[in-house]
């Protein structure tokens, strides 16, 4: 009996040490009973998805979580943490770097020429224009010069285990196991910290749904075949609702009687209505009759401190590929450059990127004050900018639609409702 008690006590102590290892960076490499139990809990879902026990066991043999990556829910880690997401940590001007866009634009035109036949064929089949496809390739891996270094299964397992979006990544992890079961080599499944793979960086669920043989060799290889990767990306955009023949959007000049508080998808209207309100293309060209009938919304990623755009349907489709205004704008402008266009007409003004916690607290306070706020996440999206502009307008403040310590202090000074 004494021996059994000592054994049980030792077993309990091991459990405590294992749990402590997960919350202590220096001990992160030690085995974790909790992580092993989590992996074991995946088996029923994996089995239902058609994954064999052999594939399952091989995928997780000796695997440990990587607790150094962003977006994890760990003791001592800030609850609001956008590390690793340039779309939310850089100013719009920095993210949309003119020298970098110029460089990628030149590379994109050369890439377009080298792969013109495949791009034209894919465009004809899917309706997704070749310029957007080449722009996405350029943004994701700089035309193949960037090779993600991480193991996708480990990244997805870590995020499914202790990430802030566990359910999402659990689904992605099961999808990755299905890829292994289908014969995709583990050595090919190198990814970003978020588990995106291939030449154009997509998640496992997207691979299972849209991966296609773009070069006609009877195989699907999104890691080495340019045609397969391009066709895969086009199928994704097509599946998300790409409108054949439409542009992503247009840079515009905002008339004096309008401002950034009109921003966002809820205020989408026919481009003809924007024109009647005084909006005009920044390049001075008129909108065609067909474009005037298309719906678009105002998008001002730097608030009042930079260019304004009328974002069309395909802009929103690009956002479904990567849910960021800046990402979609980068791809849109790069596609224009590859097509023969140039830089933005309106220059960026000097403005600072706020701290993530400032954005978070301002979102929370505005929601308390009755301003609609879908997410309290510290990320600066169109709705956050819009609600800041509405608050500034209602309180007689300078309307710049930009989160700042000054606006936060003003909002916090208002009497609690």
CA angle 124, 129, 134 (to 5 degrees): 120
| Fold that domain 96-148+242-348 belongs to in CATH | Lysozyme (1.10.530)
CA–CA dist 32, 21 (Å, integer): 7
- pLDDT tens, position by position, 152-174: 999 999 999 999 999 999 999 99
Stretch 83-106: mean pLDDT: 82
CA–CA dist 205, 414 (Å, integer): 46
- pLDDT tens, position by position, 268-324: 999 999 999 999 999 999 999 999 999 999 999 999 999 999 999 999 999 999 989
- pLDDT tens, position by position, 206-253: 999 999 999 999 999 999 999 999 999 999 999 999 999 999 999 999
CA–CA dist 47, 35 (Å, integer): 19
**Nearest-CA neighbor of 333 among 299, 303, 294?**
299
The pLDDT mean for the chain works out to: 90
Question: For residues 201 and 223, is the Cβ–Cβ distance under 8 A?
Answer: no
**Nearest-CA neighbor of 235 among 218, 210, 214, 213?**
210
pLDDT at residue 21 in the model: 39
Q: Which residues of 117-134 are buried (b: 16+ CB within 10 A; e: fewer)?
A: ebbebbbeebebbbbbbb
pLDDT over 50 at 30, yes or no: no
Q: What is the pTM of this model?
A: 0.86
pLDDT band at 145 (very low <50, low <70, confident <90, very high): confident
User: Percentage helix, strand, coil, to 5, in the chain?
Assistant: 55, 5, 40
CA–CA dist 321, 104 (Å, integer): 20
Helix, strand, or coil (residue 376): coil
Kindly give, in sequence order, each residue whose CB lies less than 8 Å from that of residue 290, ignoring residues fewer than 6 positions away.
none
Per-domain residue ranges for the chain? 2-78+150-177, 96-148+242-348, 356-413
Helices (H), 61-129: 86-89, 92-95, 98-114, 116-126
- pLDDT tens, position by position, 115-126: 999 999 999 999
Question: H or E segment at 211?
Answer: none
- pLDDT tens, position by position, 371-390: 999 889 999 999 999 999 99
CA–CA dist 58, 47 (Å, integer): 14
Q: Name which residue leads in pLDDT, 34 or 415.
A: 34
pLDDT at residue 397 in the model: 97
Kindly give, in sequence order, each residue whose CB lies less than 8 Å from that of residue 66, ignoring residues fewer than 6 positions away.
28, 150, 154, 155, 158
CA 24 to chain centre: 29
CA–CA dist 157, 178 (Å, integer): 14
Torsion, CA 205, CA 174, CA 327, CA 270, rounded to 10: 50
Kindly give, in sequence order, each residue whose CB lies less than 8 Å from that of residue 124, ignoring residues fewer than 6 positions away.
none
pLDDT over 90 at 7, yes or no: no
Q: Give burial (CB, 10 Å; 0-12/13-18/19+) of 218.
A: exposed
CA–CA dist 358, 69 (Å, integer): 23
Instruction: Tell me the CB-side half-sphere exposure of residue 74, using CA atoms within 13 A.
Output: 23
pLDDT at residue 13 in the model: 36
Q: Mind spelling out the 3-state secondary structure of 8-58?
A: HHHHHHHHHHHHHHHHCHHHCCCCCHHHHHHHHHHHHHHHHCCCCHHHHHH
pLDDT at residue 80 in the model: 60
């Amino acid at each position: 009996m004494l021996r059994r008690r000592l054994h049980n006590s030792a077993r309990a102590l091991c459990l405590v040490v294992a749990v402590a290892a997960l919350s202590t960076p220096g001990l992160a490499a030690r085995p974790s009973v909790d992580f092993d139990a989590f992996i074991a809990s995946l088996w029923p879902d994996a089995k239902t998805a058609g994954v064999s026990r052999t594939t399952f066991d091989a995928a997780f043999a000796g695997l440990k979580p990587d607790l150094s990556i962003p977006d994890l829910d760990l003791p001592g880690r800030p609850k609001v943490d956008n590390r690793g997401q340039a779309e939310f940590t850089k100013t719009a001007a920095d993210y949309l770097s003119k020298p970098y866009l110029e460089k990628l634009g030149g590379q994109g035109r050369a890439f377009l020429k080298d792969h013109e036949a495949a791009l034209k064929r894919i465009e004809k089949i899917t309706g997704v224009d070749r310029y957007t496809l080449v722009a996405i390739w350029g943004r994701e891996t700089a035309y193949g010069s960037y090779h993600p270094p991480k193991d996708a299964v480990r990244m997805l397992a870590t995020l499914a285990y202790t990430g802030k979006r566990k359910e999402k990544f659990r689904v992605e992890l099961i999808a990755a196991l299905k890829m292994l079961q289908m014969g995709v080599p583990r050595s090919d499944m190198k990814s970003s910290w978020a588990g995106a793979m291939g030449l154009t960086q997509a998640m496992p669920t997207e691979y299972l749904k849209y991966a296609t043989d773009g070069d006609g060799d009877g195989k699907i290889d999104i890691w080495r075949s340019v045609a397969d990767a391009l066709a895969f990306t086009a199928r994704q955009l097509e599946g998300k609702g790409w409108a054949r023949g439409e542009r992503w959007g247009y840079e515009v000049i905002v008339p004096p009687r309008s401002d950034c508080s009109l921003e966002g998808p809820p205020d989408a209207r026919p481009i003809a209505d924007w024109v009647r309100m005084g909006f005009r293309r920044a390049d001075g060209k008129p909108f065609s009759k067909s474009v005037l009938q298309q719906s678009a919304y105002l998008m001002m990623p730097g608030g009042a401190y930079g260019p304004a755009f009328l974002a069309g349907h395909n802009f929103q489709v690009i956002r479904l590929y990567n849910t960021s205004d800046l990402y979609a704008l980068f791809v849109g402008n790069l596609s224009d450059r590859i097509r023969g266009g140039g830089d933005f007409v309106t220059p960026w003004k000097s403005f600072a990127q706020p701290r993530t916690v400032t954005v978070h607290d301002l979102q929370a306070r505005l929601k308390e004050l009755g301003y609609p706020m879908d997410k309290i996440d510290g990320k600066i999206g169109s709705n956050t900018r819009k609600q800041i502009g509405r608050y500034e307008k209602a309180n007689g403040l300078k309307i710049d639609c930009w989160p700042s310590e000054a606006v936060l202090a003003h909002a916090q000074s208002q009497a609690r409702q």
